[in-house]
Each structure stands twice: as structure tokens, then as C-alpha cells.
């Protein structure tokens, strides 16, 4: 008779790895969406905010390329320019995107409610805090400086321009594992407000928590969310929950301030020998 044994980690959680816009800063993930719309408008092509948000979480150049690949956007581009968008067009728009995004980032750098409390609770548990973003290093530097002034500073931070491939590839998450000196990816939790960000964590072999309301998928500033009629809020909320669970997220909550019970549940699952 033959047996196969499976090795499983049963120790404590070691790291929380968070996204930036829509997860720890910029409630509603407003800054990049507005700039993508502006960049395409400067090319004579109107895109909707929903179209601008669709690839959110990816490297920003990749994001622009994915917007261009949408059939409706490509049709408008052909109507304006007489040809399909090219790699040169994507490069030009990305070059235009960078200064526009840098200029407005600090306007949207307020911490999302619950960030400081969650960070403190994680550190009490002995967890380190890492971060990943689809922004480049200069954009990340602005977020880091603005967040630190408000009391939040992760132990490691990596952006899409630091690695060979951005999300949904796991490269940024795994760079955090190395920088934070983490024993195993099974001891890590990735928190994100976008599907590519959840896929990043899954591809890295981590537990994942999706944020449904405070980020890109809901796509509204906090004041507008609070003013929304209850029935409308619940309908939109349920739609985002469904989408994030279908993407493979282990847990979905409204906002980062709601993740601590998830961490308790993950810890209990690890103690039982479960893996991500």
C-alpha cells in the first residue's frame, strides 16, 4: 500500500501585503481613473469611467494598452484616427499619464478609515506589512510620503516598475516575501480592491482578501457611498462581492477596516493544517 504525504504550515501569520489606491489610500480609487479618462480625451477619444476602471490594478502602461484593446474604445479610436491604436500610441499616452498622475496624487492620498488600527493590530500579532502597486516608483514615493505623515509606513513596498511583470503575475508579492524575510507564502495575506490584485496574491500562493466597497470595484468616494440609498448600495455591494469571490478571493469584506476577523479565521484554518 502506498501513501502520499502533504506538508502543511501550521504556524502564525507572518505578513500582510496590501495594495495602495483603493486599499489603504484614495477611497474609491479615484486618482488613476480620472487621469486615464483625461489621457484618452487628449487623444480625441472619450472613454467612460467604467472603461477606465476595468483593467485597474495592472501596470499603468499595460492598463492603457488594455483599454485600447476594448472593442468599443478601439472603434472610437478608429473613428478619430483612421487606424487601430499602436504600441507607439500606448507609449505616448503612458508618457502623458505619468506627469498628470504625479500632479494629482496627493489630492487623493488620505488614508482609508481603519488602516492605522489594522496596521497596529497586525504588528501586535507579530506580522510585518508589505505593499504592492500598479504605480511606478515616483508615484509610490508620493503615496509613501503622504501616508507616513498620517502615521502609516509599511516595512516593504514594491511597484510594477520594480519587477519583470506586474499583476496578475506574483512578482511584486514575492519580492515582499524576500524583503520581509518571510518563511512561507502560506503565512502571508494579500489584500486588494481589484481582481488583478487578488490574482497576484493567488498566483503567489497567499491567502487573499478582496475589498468590495472602499476601492475600484465600487468606484465612489466615501461621502457618495454613505449618501447612497440603502437598496442601491446593497445591490451594488452584492454584485462586487460576487465578482470578487468568482475571481478566487478567499474572503471579501467592505473595507480594510473589516479584515481582522478574516485574519483570525485564516489563523484558525492554518492551525487545522489548511493551506491557501
Q: How far apart are the first and last CA of the chain?
A: 29
Which string of b and e fits 205-233 if b means at least 16 CB within 10 Å? bbbbbbbbbbbbbbbbbeeebeebeeeeb
Per-residue cell: 271? 492551525
Rounded CA gap, 50 and 30, in Å?
A: 12
CB within 8 Å of 150: residues ≥ 6 apart: 110, 111, 116
Annotated active-site positions, please? 19, 60
Asked if 21 and 32 count as a contact pair (C-beta separation under 8 A), the reply is yes
Of 247, 178, 167, 171, whose CA–CA distance to 209 is shortest?
247
The secondary structure of residue 138, as a DSSP letter, is: H
Amino acid at each position: 500500500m502506498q501513501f502520499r504525504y502533504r506538508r502543511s504550515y501550521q504556524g502564525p501569520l507572518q505578513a500582510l501585503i496590501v495594495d495602495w489606491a483603493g486599499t489603504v489610500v484614495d477611497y474609491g480609487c479615484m486618482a488613476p481613473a480620472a487621469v486615464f479618462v483625461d489621457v484618452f480625451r487628449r487623444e480625441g477619444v472619450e472613454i467612460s469611467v467604467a472603461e477606465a476602471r476595468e483593467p485597474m490594478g495592472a501596470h499603468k502602461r499595460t492598463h492603457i494598452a488594455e483599454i485600447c484593446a476594448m472593442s468599443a474604445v478601439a472603434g472610437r479610436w478608429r473613428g478619430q484616427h483612421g487606424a487601430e491604436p499602436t504600441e507607439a500610441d500606448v507609449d505616448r499616452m503612458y508618457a502623458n499619464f505619468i506627469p498628470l498622475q504625479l500632479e494629482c496624487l496627493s489630492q487623493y492620498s488620505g488614508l482609508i478609515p481603519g488602516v492605522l488600527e489594522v496596521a497596529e493590530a497586525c504588528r501586535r500579532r507579530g506580522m510585518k506589512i508589505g505593499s504592492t502597486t500598479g504605480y511606478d516608483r515616483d508615484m509610490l514615493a508620493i503615496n509613501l510620503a503622504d501616508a507616513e505623515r498620517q502615521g502609516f509606513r509599511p516595512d516593504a513596498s514594491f511597484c510594477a516598475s520594480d519587477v519583470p511583470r506586474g499583476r496578475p503575475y506574483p512578482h511584486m508579492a514575492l519580492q515582499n516575501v524576500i524583503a520581509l524575510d518571510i518563511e512561507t507564502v502560506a503565512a502571508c495575506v494579500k489584500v486588494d480592491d481589484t481582481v488583478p490584485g487578488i490574482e497576484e496574491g493567488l498566483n503567489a500562493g497567499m491567502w487573499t482578501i478582496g475589498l468590495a466597497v472602499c476601492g475600484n470595484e465600487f468606484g465612489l468616494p466615501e461621502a457618495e457611498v454613505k449618501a447612497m440609498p440603502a437598496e442601491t448600495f446593497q445591490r451594488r455591494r452584492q454584485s462586487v462581492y460576487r465578482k470578487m469571490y468568482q475571481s478566487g478571493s478567499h474572503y471579501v469584506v467592505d473595507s480594510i477596516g473589516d479584515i481582522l476577523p478574516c485574519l483570525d479565521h485564516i489563523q484558525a484554518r492554518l492551525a487545522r493544517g489548511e493551506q491557501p
